[in-house]
Amino acid sequence: MSEEHLTEPVVRPPGDRPAGQPCPSRPAEVREAVLRAVAERCLATRTPCDTEALADALLVASELTTNAILHGGGVTGFEVDVDGPGVRLSVSDRSDALPVAVPPVDQEGRRRPGGHGWPIVCRLARDVRVSDLPSGGKRITALVSLV
């Protein structure tokens, strides 16, 4: 018994998206795109999917997207590529400001809300790069191991 599976790219480059299909721009949409891309790769290569590694990739995707919304003026682009033993996630936003880690307490010793996203991304990703975009804004690309 044989099965045939047809797949198409989960996320296409800007301009190559079918009419009416917007770029994923909310954390849930981005997580769904990452989950589909990894599941398709595991199915195509007949390899098991490490659920803990996948959880790390989903968390990084969610944090990058949330940070773009909260601090970057919104998501302007998203790409996911399962590359060998990892998944490469790129999230673009409107801001030129570099991400920073803020101390958990302010100068008066009061705990600050939030501030965990960027450290989580840096801790879980093997490689993180921030690139300026020609039209303004930035792209943050993180490579998360799937093994």
Confidence (pTM): 0.81
Answer yes or no: are the C-beta atoms of 115 and 122 closer than 8 Å. Answer: no
Query: Per this entry, what is the length of the chain?
Result: 147
Give the C-alpha separation, 51 to 73, whole Å. Answer: 32
Q: What is the reported pLDDT for 20?
A: 57
What pLDDT shows up at residue 68? Answer: 96
Please, are residues 93 and 74 in contact by the beta-carbon 8 Å criterion?
yes
Q: So what's the pLDDT on residue 102? A: 82
For the chain, what is the HEC assignment? CCCCCCCCCCCCCCCCCCCCCCCCCCHHHHHHHHHHHHHHHHHHHCCCCCHHHHHHHHHHHHHHHHHHHHHCCCEEEEEEEEECCEEEEEEEECCCCCCCCCCCECCCCCECCCCCHHHHHHHHCCEEEEEECCCCCEEEEEEEECC
The predicted pLDDT at position 57 comes to 97
Measured CA to CA, the distance from residue 27 to residue 62 in angstroms comes to 5
* Token duo for residue 140: 């943050």
User: Which residue type, as a one-letter code, is found at position 31?
Assistant: R
* Average pLDDT of every residue of the chain: 86
Positions in the chain whose pLDDT score sits under 50: 1-17
